[in-house]
Every structure is written in C-alpha cells, then in structure tokens.
A and B are shown apart, each in its own frame.
Chain A
Amino acid sequence: QKEVEQNSGPLSVPEGAIASLNCTYSDRGSQSFFWYRQYSGKSPELIMFIYSNGDKEDGRFTAQLNKASQYVSLLIRDSQPSDSATYLCASWAGSARQLTFGSGTQLTVLP
C-alpha cells in the first residue's frame, strides 16, 4: 500500500525559530506534493505544493523535495503562535486518482 509518513509530534518551537516538518513517501511514482495546514476544528487549507526537486519558497514557507530520498519537508521561518496547527503532507502519483495523505504533524509555537 502506498503510504505517506509524518511524525505525529507534537513539535514545539519557540516564537521566531524555524519549524521543520518532514514527510516521507513510499510510491516512487509520486509526482506532486502538497502541504496543508489545519487549525483545530477547521478544514485543511492548502499552503504550498511542489513538483520538482529542490526548494520552493513562498513568504515564510519553504517546501523542499528530494525524490531520490523520497523526502519532502516544510520549513516555516520566523514561526509565530498563529502557525500552531496540524500540518498535513499529501502526494499524488500519476497513476493514482486521488491524493495520499499523511496523518499530520501537530506544531505548537510557544510565545
């Protein structure tokens, strides 16, 4: 079974620090990767997606993809208490018809 693995956490970082969230995937056919943020009691919200090896930056967020190592990460610079949420990683393989989601990492940013 194709899987996406995330450390469930909780991960705690002080305000202003860099939060690093990691995700590994088992399907080598995976082509696209997505990061979602989910606040408690709310629906997931798309933060970033990445298709190519390397880094993709958007504001305080950087997604990193290493297809050889089957590894995706999300870095949050200058973490704020408002970043406290669960972060979901998802992958899409061309042969699949739906995304495969990880179970999420809970992040707490301490003031």
Chain B
Amino acid sequence: DGGITQSPKYLFRKEGQNVTLSCEQNLNHDAMYWYRQDPGQGLRLIYYSQIVNDFQKGDIAEGYSVSREKKESFPLTVTSAQKNPTAFYLCASSPLGGPQHFGDGTRLSIL
C-alpha cells in the first residue's frame, strides 16, 4: 500500500540531546513537509523540500534541521537548541501543487 510512514510514534528527549524523526513515503511525491502542532493549535511549517538535495525553511525552522538525500525520505532532527520541543510532529508529502497527504505523526516529549 502506498503511504507515508513516520517513526517512532512516541519519542522522549533528554535535555541537551538531539533526536531524529523519520519520514518515508512510497507515493513517488516530489514534495515533502514537516509541521509542528501544539495542543489546540493549527499546523506550523518547519521545513519543506520540493526536490532531492534541496529544502527550504518554513515559519519555525529555528532549532530544527532536515536532509533530503533520497526522494522517499525526509528526516527531521530536533536539536538541543529547540528549547520547547514537546509537540505533535507531522510529515506530509504531495505532488507539486497538489494535495498533501499526512503520516500518522510522532509525539515528542521531554524527559
């Protein structure tokens, strides 16, 4: 089945630690996106990529990093510089200009 796979479903971060969230898609979509959602809030764009080896900052990129070495994969690293990382992280993919489809999300919490 085609889809977007995010892992892990739950993740805990210690102070000063970097953690990486995985996102893989087999929909052959060119574009991939990372969003952050806080309780009761809308989606905020962290980073997006429309082509391999290229990505752009979204509205809240500080404290995060990404890579796009393969079309299928767009991992997000939450660095220790992100002081308030507790949130629901959503990865999405789309054909260029088309509707975005979301993975099931990763919930990140601070230990």
Interface members, chain B 7-42 (any A CB < 8 Å): 31, 33, 41-42
Is B109 an interface position by the 8 A CB rule?
no
Contacts of A92 in B (CB 8 A): 97
Interface members, chain B 25-61 (any A CB < 8 Å): 31, 33, 41-43, 45, 48, 50, 56, 58
Contacts of B102 in A (CB 8 A): 43-45
Q: How far is the CA of A98 from the CA of B97 in the complex (A)?
A: 8
Q: How far is the CA of A40 from the CA of B6 in the complex (A)?
A: 18
Minimal beta-carbon separation of B78 from chain A (angstroms): 18
Contacts of B104 in A (CB 8 A): 42-43
Is B99 an interface position by the 8 A CB rule?
yes
Q: How far is the CA of A90 from the CA of B101 in the complex (A)?
A: 12
Contacts of B99 in A (CB 8 A): 32, 34, 46, 49
Check if A43 sits within 8 Å of B97, measured CB to CB: no
Size of the A side of the interface (Cβ < 8 Å), in residues, is 20
Check if B90 sits within 8 Å of A43, measured CB to CB: yes
Contacts of B98 in A (CB 8 A): 32
Q: How far is the CA of A45 from the CA of B104 in the complex (A)?
A: 10
Q: Quick one: which of A49, A98, A102, A104 contacts B45, CB cutoff 8 A? A: A98
Check if B41 sits within 8 Å of A103, measured CB to CB: yes
Contacts of B94 in A (CB 8 A): 99
Minimal beta-carbon separation of B101 from chain A (angstroms): 6
Q: Hey, what's the 0/1 contact readout for A95-106 against B, CB within 8 Å counting as 1? A: 001110111100
Q: Please, which residue of chain A has its CB at the minimum distance from the CB of B96? A: A97
Is B82 an interface position by the 8 A CB rule?
no
CB within 8 Å of B: which residues of A? 31-32, 34, 42-46, 49, 88, 90, 92, 94, 97-99, 101-104
Other 11 A-B pairs with CB < 8 A, given A42-B104, A43-B90, A46-B101: A31-B97, A32-B97, A43-B103, A44-B102, A46-B100, A90-B100, A94-B97, A97-B50, A97-B56, A99-B100, A104-B42
